[in-house]
Structures are given as C-alpha cells and as structure tokens.
Amino acid sequence: MNEHVLARARAGDEEAFRALTDPYRRELQVHCYRIVGSLQDAEDLLQETLLAAWRGLGGFEERASLRTWLYRIATNRSLNALRASSRREVPSMIEPPEPTRRSEPVWLEPYPDALLDGVPDDAPGPEARYETREAVGLAFVTALQRLSPHQRTVLVLRDVLGFRAAEAADILDTSETAVKSALQRARATLEAGPAEAVPLPGSAGERELVGRFVHAVESGDVDAVVALLTEDAWVTMPPLPYEYQGHVAIARFLEDRANARGGQALRLVPTRANGQPAFGCYLPDAHTAIAHAYGLMVLTLAGERVSAITWFGDNSVFPHFGLPRTLR
C-alpha cells in the first residue's frame, strides 16, 4: 500500500481514497451478495462500507492489510443487514400445483455476470477451497443462504476468500475456536457429491443446449422443455417455497403456468447471471405488439442437459442486466 496515498486520503483527499479502495469495490460487493443473497442490498452495503471506511480511515492502524480492514467493515455491515431483514414477508402467488416439497424461503436475487468484471478468477488466499467465480453460482449461494448467518460468513471468509482462521476471527471479533467450529458445521452442511461436467461458458456445447431450450420455451412446447432436463432436475422460485423435481412434476407445473398466462408463450432475451446462462422473460400483450418484463430465469447445466431452472419473478433486477422493461 502506498503510504503517501494513504496519508493524502487521511487528510481528506477523495481521489486518494478512491485510489486505495477502487481495486476492492467489485470483490466487496460480491462478498456482501454472498452473505445477504440480494444484489440490491449488496450495492447498498458496498456504499455503506465505503462511507464507513472514509469516515474511519483515521483509525486504521495498519495492523492488517487495507483489504482485510475493508472486509471487516463489509462483513459486519452485512451481518447487521441480515438481522434487520430477518422478518421479510414472502410474496404471494396464485396457488400452484402441489410441489415436490415446500422449502424454507431463501432470499436470493440473481447476480449479473457483467458485475464480475474485475473480480479475480482464481481463489485469492491459501485457505480457499473454491474458485472465486465458482462460489457465485446459484447452487452455492443458495446453499449459503440455508446456513446460519455466522456459519455462512465464516465459510465465505475461509473457503472462498482464503482468510486464515486468525484473520477470520479478527474480522468477526470472535475466537479462532469459534471460527473453526462454525466452519466445520458449515462444511458438513454443504457437503455434496461430485457434480457432472458443465459445458464451458460460451462453448459450442452450451450454445447448442441453450438454443434448443430457447426454441422450446418460445414455441410453448412443454414436452420439448422437459426433454432437455435431467431426470432429477429441479425448478425453484426463490423466495417462494414451492419446489418441483423430475419430469412429471415439472411438466405439470409448466403447463399450469402456461394456462395462467392464457397460453401465451414467453419471449426470451439472453443474458448471464451467477456464471450461468440466463434470460429476461417477456410476456406478449394480447392486444398490442408489446411484450412486458415477466421474470428472470437462470439455467444450471449438467453435461448435455439442464439440471435446474431458477425463476426470479422480481422484475426490479432487469436494469442491472441491461434488460429493457418492454420488447416490441
């Protein structure tokens, strides 16, 4: 760290402060997102973190790196946000078909791949188990949201960011013993079998599979959509608790949703979220040539099939993906 730039920032030089903190902005936002599961909350928390760092820079004692100090601020702001949002109300939905299971609500929003620019591709610390971008995948972030706030934060600090136990304990203002205990429980909860190979982003295999999926959806062909799924595929709709697994249950659900739309097939605009293929979905107006934003869908691929469809019905995230509100 440049001591001259730090001195200028402490003296109130905003340009110097930005020079110190800009290299960490994106990774801090992703860190907040992993903990709270919300893109919009993560943006707010990033701004809170930078404001707190600006105001508290005079108290930065340089016992740890500037990056670690910023992570301490961001982590504590994120945990405070979780405590404040613990009583969120689950949105209502017209009663769907009987689900395979009813889960606990998971507060989750998709994260645009465009915002991952500038975040290191590889794991940044010696303790890390997960590559940075792997650890923003929907399955991983969803699993994090099912952990207690303390467990998910410890796991992110240790296994994603690679902070050592002593550093994580300092960030969380707790003991190394407590960190190790929470990490052990979190890892046990997240343990999963080996995943099937996923087509590389932008590869011919991914493009071919995604193209077939788009054609099936825009044709309103439920059977063709189901034929592209793995036998144990899931459809989920966070934060709604309804989850559907397998061809029969998913086909029943898709047919029910199509009937609720009056038989109108969706139009899809491709994007990417959480390192995965995604689509802005638009519902054509029955009386005009306009299609309105309807929801955002993210695909999880496994081999040559789709293993999960995650549906986000909150259209407020569309601007973050550069998606319009309407299509003509």
**CA terminus-to-terminus distance, the chain:** 51
Contact (CB, 8 A) for 305 and 284:
no
Q: Which helix (H) or strand (E) holds 280?
A: strand 276-284
pLDDT at 192: 60
Name residue, tokens 């740890």.
64
Record: fold of 204-327: Nuclear Transport Factor 2; Chain: A, (3.10.450)
Do the domains 120-192 and 204-327 sit in the same CATH topology, yes or no? no
Instruction: Pull the structure tokens for residue 22.
Output: 């800009």
pLDDT tens, residue by residue, 92-108: 777 889 999 998 888 89
Which spans in 149-203 are helix H?
149-155, 165-172, 176-190
Taking the C-alpha atoms of residue 28 and residue 34, their distance in angstroms, rounded to an integer, is 10
Domains of the chain: which residue ranges? 1-84+109-114, 120-192, 204-327
pLDDT for 308 equals 97
State the pLDDT at residue 84: 86
**pTM, entire model:** 0.92
Distance (Å, whole) CA 151 – CA 156: 9
Could you say which residues of the chain have pLDDT below 70?
Answer: 1, 86-87, 192-196
* 120-192: in CATH 1.25.40.340: no
Q: Distance of CA 32 to CAs 77, 180, 201, 313, Å?
A: 9, 21, 25, 22
Q: How confident is the model at residue 137, as a pLDDT? A: 93
**What is the CATH code for 1-84+109-114?**
1.10.1740.10
Q: pLDDT tens digits, residue range 201-260? A: 889 999 999 999 999 999 999 999 999 999 999 999 999 999 999 999 999 999 999 999
